[in-house]
Structure 1
Amino acid sequence: MTTTIFWFRNDLRLHDQVALQAAMGARRLLPVVCTPGMDTPTAWGFARMGRHRRAWWASAVRHLARALQTAGSQLLVLDEPPATALPALAHAVGADGVVCEDIAAPDEQAEVAAVRAAGLPVLTIWHSSLFDPAQLPWPLQQLPDSFTHFRQAVEQTGLTPAAPLPPVGRLAPWPRGVPDSVLEAQRRTWARLSAIAPAADARSAFPYLQSGLHAGESAARAHLARYLASDLPARHKRARNGLAGQGYSSKWSPWLATGALSPRKALEQLRRYEAVHGASEGTRCLWLELLWRDHLRFLHLRHGPALYRARGLAHAPTPTHQPERFAAWCAGRTGQPLADAGMRELAATGYLGNRLRQIVASFLVHDLACEWRAGAAWFEHQLLDYDVYSNQGNWIFLASRRTHPRARRRFDPARQAGRYDPDGHYRQLWGTA
């Protein structure tokens, strides 16, 4: 290719950038990002991106732009749908095509299909998982739906992810001919993104955009190094069900979600930690969490849009929905103290620990009898570490709508409070005790 557009999606980094490496042969390269429809409404009456996701994403884009400048390039931010923005841009600069990350979720697949339908070739590259799908011991259509069976096969066959790629070096220059109207629109977009500020809350378990916790890959790698320089990895199994504070989990997910941190880089550094300090139950839990993340991605490659049906993958009746109960759940005003505390933390901070995510999701589906996809959409709106694969996969799991679901995966919130918040500290913190 003579001129290539590289479209950053959920891979806002320069290290371990398989897709960007595939575009490096171009004589001229134009890196772009399309703002992700921040005000696009869901079927449930609210925007897909709330203030926390907007602030975190905007920070990631700003830091990606700085990294690209260091590599001798620039980032062009397009504030319109890819289906119209990319073909028009390609025509203006004489680009031969687009290279981008492959994302196996329906809306993201539809974006690529629309660009292709407009006549612009798009090369998609899969690189969001530890393992390449071709490494797996089965064809994708035979992928186990059970994580246990998946894990056992991966470990028994001794699969090892490829080493992460080093950061890209100097990038090819921009092409000539970027329209002045596009550059002017970008200036307005940058001003809008710069105005998106975090909603600071001193109670936050992840005080993003404070104390160096910006969304770029430099902060991701610094956080990873700090975490692995502490005793937290060895204590992870005991601490991972914590409810409050910054030390109860790895907090890798916000950077993994935007792609500012590659999972292969995280695993590489974890293995180096184990080589010095020894493996432990805690480091094994971290490995399994990364592997669970892979499994949810591969389930999307196998099942695709079926994961987004009301019945999911199961032969189950259409779920009920209670709009008033759902609104109370979103606001943290159902009257159930632990669930309400969790939903208030989510609204105030854009973050919620894994234990509480399971508790509030179970409460919505199994106690309030609401549609699980509404809950998934609310998490998409709120979570700064929203990841389409993990969000949909975990919700379908909690709603017992997998192909071979267990009995209802209900978490009794009163029992959970007795076990994980016995002194009521968390509920007091969020005003529900």
Structure 2
Amino acid sequence: MSLTLVWLRHDLRLADNPLFHFDPSPDQLMCVYVLDRAWLSPLPGLSEPRIGPARLRFLWESLIALRGELLKRGSDLLVRVGDPVKVVAELAAGHDVTQLRLRRDAGSDETRDVQTLVDRLGARVDVWQTDGGLLFGEASLPMPLSALPASFSAFRRKAERGWVVPTACQAPVTLPPWPRAAPRGLPPLSKICTGAARWVPDPRGGFHFAGGEASGLSRLDHYLWESGAVAGYKQSRNGLLGPDFSTRLSPWLAHGCLSARQVRDAVRAWEAQHVTGELSDWVIFELLWRDYFHWAARQEGRALFGRRELPTPSESFSAWCEGRTGVPFIDAAMCELKTTGWLSNRARQNVASFLLHELDGDWRLGAAWFEHCLIDYDVASNWGNWRHVAGVGRDTRIRRFNVLKQAELYDPLGAYVAHWRPELAESPPGRLQHQTDVGPRRGVKEDW
């Protein structure tokens, strides 16, 4: 009797997920997610765990929602905490798994784990890997991965010239049954992390991110059809306050509750009934940036994270994390990040520039702090963006923002500062001088 094990990592959905399209269908199916115990420990030099309470809470909600959808289709889900390679290898050996299916992820740790697992399983298990969640799979890239351009602009030109993106696939109606002798279910979040189980976002965020495929589709439907906010996305994406200036789809994309193709198809369907043009098309432009960072990370491997270990955090870095730099615009943004797990694209670029160029901070520490805080943490986008702002990535131009000018442009009345740090609303702007602003232009990264 054939038994397939689907190892889920950043693909927590059923629709447009090639892992659940079988040919031929196995007799039995196990779906497994393993929370890497290393995520519950801090990166060297930091005191906070790699996965913070906001992201862990969203992840658990997504897993619970996915289990519900699997049960409806005759299957189930097993969630474990531990060493992913060890857990999956033991399950494969203990239940005579004939095929292992998983998505290729961008992080070097994930790539290393897969290779270790393949070596451990040997020839007795067929290991099938796929590219899921993106606009392009490796087979449909407009160039070989080894020839990925050094700049996004060059990648975009090649991609748009041969723009063939497959439509998203529907979710399966039924799935093979769960093996009778196999364990199933997931532990309560309170046993993993009490802080995450009790965590609630600051209500000033004005938006609730609920994990799961259905919640992601609901948000997409609201943004396109209920609010119609997509029509003004190009202008509104630099906003700071309110629920609909941004798509806010990034957490569902990061966890694989939505795929990029699902979003693209939905935007195209909206355009078919409305005026089309560059305004709504900018959403797809940002999805292409996300693809580019994924493939760049796949190409760069361990180099994505820098060539040295994390340095010892300085007092200025701690002040930046805690939102006590003395610059109200920055401190308001860092307060929002820490208390909601999310931050607008415009604010992310400003706080990153401030840490790097005003506090002389290390970009890797900034990336590590974002990894801890963000609900929408994605290894390729997060570390790629920090390299991009620091000018140490594929594009070595320095991106230094005049934070005072940015505050005047995007928070002219001080509403954002007053919202998050009212005690600072009347404070002097700070000590910044002689900075060069980098304004938005097409071809320069605009979405974190």
- Give the alignment's TM-score, normalised by structure 1: 0.91
The aligned amino acid for 2:217 is R
Residue 171 of structure 1 aligns to a residue whose secondary structure is: coil
In structure 1, what is the equivalent of residue 379 of structure 2?
388
SS class of match (2:279)? helix
Separation in 1, partners of 2:369, 2:189:
27
Q: Deviation at 1:304?
A: 1.9
2:44 aligned residue: 43
Residue 240 of structure 1 is matched in structure 2 by 237
Percent sequence identity is: 37
Residue deviations 1:56-111, cap 9 Å, x none?
11110110010101111110111121121112112221112421111021111122
* 3-state DSSP of counterpart to 1:166: coil
| Residue 429 (1) aligns with residue 425 (2) | no
Could you tell me how far 1:22 is from its partner in structure 2? Answer: 4.3
Change (3 A) 1:67 1:77: same
- Alignment partners' CA distance in 2, 1:108 and 1:319: 20
Pairing partner for 2:408 from 412, 418, 424: 418
Q: Is the 8 A contact 1:205 1:351 kept in 2?
A: no
Aligned to 2:431: none
Q: Is the 8 A contact 1:39 1:49 kept in 2?
A: yes
Q: Confirm or deny that 1:88 pairs with 2:90.
A: yes
Task: Tell me if 1:296 matches 2:279.
Answer: no
User: Does 2:264 match 1:260?
Assistant: no
User: Partner of 1:100 in structure 2?
Assistant: 102
Aligned partner letter, 2:55 = R
1:219 matched to which residue of 2? Answer: 215
Change (3 A) 1:188 1:273: closer
Q: 88-97 or 417-426, which moves further after superposition?
A: 88-97
State how far apart, in whole Å, the 2-side matches of 1:403 and 1:190 are: 39
SS at match of 1:77: strand
Tell me if the contact between 2:363 and 2:386 (Cα under 8 Å) persists in the aligned partners.
Answer: yes
* C-alpha distance in structure 2 between counterparts of 1:252 and 1:42, whole Å: 27
Structure 1 position 354, deviation (Å): 0.4
Distance 1:368 1:127 in 2: 39
Contact 1:60–1:215, Cα closer than 8 Å, also in 2: yes
Aligned pairs, number: 415
Aligned residue for 1:386, secondary structure, equals coil
2:131 to 115, 126, 132: 126
Structure 1 CA distance for aligned equivalents of residues 27 and 391 of structure 2:
51
Question: Cα distance, 1:291 vs. partner?
Answer: 0.8
Shift, 1:251, TM fit:
0.9
1:148 aligns with 2:153: yes
Specify the code of the residue in structure 2 equivalent to 1:131: F
Query: 1:319 Cα shift?
Result: 9.9
Does structure 2 retain, via aligned residues, the 8 Å contact 1:320–1:370? Answer: no
Distance 2:76 2:394 in 1: 46
Task: Give a deviation string over 1:386-423, Cα, whole Å, max 9, x none.
Answer: 111111111110010123422x2011111110110111
Name 1:9's counterpart in structure 2: 9
Q: Which residue of 2 aligns with 1:211?
A: none
Please give the per-residue CA displacement for 1:160-193, whole angstroms capped at 9, x wherever unaligned. 2111111012111112332xxx55xx56456636
Mapped to 1, the partners of 2:68 and 2:193 lie a distance apart of 14
Q: Superposed, which structure 2 residues align to 1:326-341 within 5 Å?
A: 326-341=317-332
Counterpart in the other structure of 1:173: 177
Tell me, yes or no, if structure 1 residue 347 matches structure 2 residue 349. no
User: In 1, distance between residues paired with 2:187 and 2:269?
Assistant: 44
Query: Any gaps of 5 or more consecutive residues in structure 1?
Result: 209-213, 312-317
Structure 2 distance, partners of 1:11, 1:23, is 20
Deviation at 1:320, TM superposition (A): 7.7
Alpha-carbon distance, 1:377 to partner:
0.8
Offset at residue 205 of structure 1 (A): 4.5
Q: Once the 2 structures are TM-superposed, how far is the Cα of residue 23 of structure 1 from its aligned partner? A: 7.5
TM-score (norm 2): 0.88
| Cα 1:323–1:61 shift into 2, 3 Å | same
**Secondary structure at 1:177's aligned position in 2?**
coil
2:302 is aligned with 1:305:
yes
CA contact (8 A) 1:7 1:99 kept: yes
Q: Distance in 1 between matches of 2:142 and 2:353?
A: 33
| Displacement after TM superposition at 1:365 (Å) | 1.0
Q: CA deviation at 1:305?
A: 1.8
The aligned runs of 1:401-416 (5 Å cut-off) are: 401-406=392-397, 408-416=398-406
Give the Cα–Cα distance (whole angstroms) in 1 for the partners of residues 267 and 69 of structure 2: 25
**How many angstroms apart in 2 are the aligned matches of 1:191 and 1:260?**
23
2-structure distance, mates of 1:188, 1:135: 39
Instruction: Please tell me whether the aligned partners of residues 213 and 258 of structure 2 are also in contact (alpha carbons under 8 angstroms).
Output: yes
Name the counterpart of 2:433. none
- The answer to whether the Cα contact below 8 Å between 2:62 and 2:211 also exists between their aligned partners in 1 is yes
Query: Does the 8 A contact of 1:319 with 1:372 survive in 2?
Result: no
Which residue number corresponds to residue 192 of structure 1? Answer: 191
413-422 vs 16-25, which moves further: 16-25
Q: Contact 1:12 / 1:64 at 8 angstroms: preserved in 2?
A: yes
Q: Structure 1 390/187 Cα, relative in aligned 2: closer, same or farther at 3 Å?
A: closer
Gaps of 5+ in 2: 426-448
What corresponds to 1:251 in structure 2?
248
How far is 1:322 from its partner? Answer: 5.2
Q: 1:88 to 1:320 in 2, by over 3 A?
A: closer
Query: CA RMSD of the aligned region, Å?
Result: 2.1
Distance 1:274 1:127 in 2: 25
Within 2, Cα distance between the matches of 1:22 and 1:30? 13
Does the residue aligned with 2:25 lie in a helix, a strand or coil?
Answer: coil
